[in-house]
Amino acid sequence: MAMKLEIIGKELIKPASPMPNHLRTLQLSLSDFCSPPIYVIGIFFYDTEDHIISKEIVSLRLKKSLSEILTRFYPLAGRVEGVSINCNDEGAVFMEARTDSLLSEFLRNPVRESFEQVVPSDISKPLETSPLLNVTVIYFRSGGLAIAVSISHKVFDASSLSWFVNMWATTARGYGDSLNPPEFAETTIFPPADLSMIFRPPKKEDSDSKRVCISWQRFFFDAFKIKELKRRAASETVQNPTRVEVVTTFIWKCATKAMRSNSIPRRPSFMRQAMDIRRKSSATYISENMFGNLVLPLAVVEGPESEMDITEVVAKLRKKKEEVSEKIREILQLDRSSPELHEKVKELRAKLLSDITLDTRSHPITSWCGFPFYEADFGWGRPVWFATGRHIVFEMGFTCITDTKDGQGIEAWVTLPEQDMLVFEHDPELLAVATPNPSVLV
């Protein structure tokens, strides 16, 4: 049964200090502007039973520290206007709710419908009227709380989300003065946004557009099963595949089987991933806590008759990643002030997107593994669970994978058209490796 929420408060949190005039406008980059009009979502669950702390104290601490951190992360209090952000201090939405459910009950049986209540999913509203940051705090009965953070993908990617929440948590603990000021990448790497490149959903007349993604599921891969997948995927070319490589490849294979079972004729399939530039560069002006959409698309394509052997696909994926990584390193050897930098990044992005043809069936997969979501301590300990929920972005499907708390397992949040999900979630090959929506408590 889904938990029932009672809204007990909603307000706009404004920065503690007004924004100086010279910082009122922040230019969006091509990467920012071409990102889909969705929210990057993280939900942090905390067990506070061992902490003598009232809802009033929690609320005051979170609001005060959010106001303080918004002074540093000033774009999040603004609104998108065309190809820039008007940093007008309008504020971030802060909502509080309570439920009669126990946190232990929710973690024992994390009902999917409960996630729908705590995060915004409407992408139809105009960007100019949408807040860039939404926070929902949920108080469970007898202790325990969840903090759901939703940030517009137009300004932040997953890496930025993880670092923002950790810097907010550090501020809540009283150590905000020790933090280095964030740097907003925006047009540091990518050229300024062009209105002609706005994200557009598939056209209504496209036959595939009728297959709306309305079904999603969470799957758990434990460390033992991942080790088994790595053994199956190992080859002379890739002797030690990573957790992310084998899990994403395996999910793509199973998703493609499900899609092909409901599609005639068979079509090529491609897996699209986002490659984080921060992790691929030694350039001194690139750092992990540089904020913005610092990603490039990477696609691997399989033909309509391919059996998608996991060994071969992992080898193909690794080769593609190495080629793109090398190209990124070459480009970022240029000085950040070089007029060639923007042009070469733009050319590389266009080339990578050209690998995707119109006759293919896509399944984008994004990895949030390795980001410090489980380090976010607001003063009552680290999260007992980090979740992300559904991501209805592309009508053909989408998967987001995250680390488990111990950093050894992986949770996959898979969205597919309903008819494909019915096949996918009953695939014997998948169920031999992954567990659908298990209890978080062990």
Distance CA 170, CA 305 (A): 52
Q: What is the largest CA-CA distance in the chain?
A: 61
Alpha helices for 110-242 (secondary structure H):
112-116, 158-172, 223-233
The one-letter amino acid at 141: R
Which residue, 35, 6, 16, 18, is CA-closest to 136? 6
Phi-psi region of 214 (alpha: psi -120 to 50; beta: other; left: phi over 0): alpha
Question: 120 preceded by cis ω (within 30°)?
Answer: no
User: Active-site residues: which are they?
Assistant: 153, 377
Q: CA–CA separation, 247 vs 240, rounded Å?
A: 14
Rounded Cα gap, residues 126 and 90, in angstroms: 16
Q: List Cβ<8 Å contacts ≥24 apart for 336-339.
A: 336/188, 336/189, 336/283, 336/285
C-alpha of 146 from chain center = 18
In sequence order, the 6+-apart residues with CB closer than 8 A to the CB of 424 are 217, 254, 255, 257, 258, 414, 416, 430
| CB-count exposure of residue 267 (10 Å: 0-12, 13-18, 19+) | middle
Angle of the 310-331 helix axis to the 339-354 helix axis, nearest 10: 160
Copy the structure tokens of residue 363. 């399944």
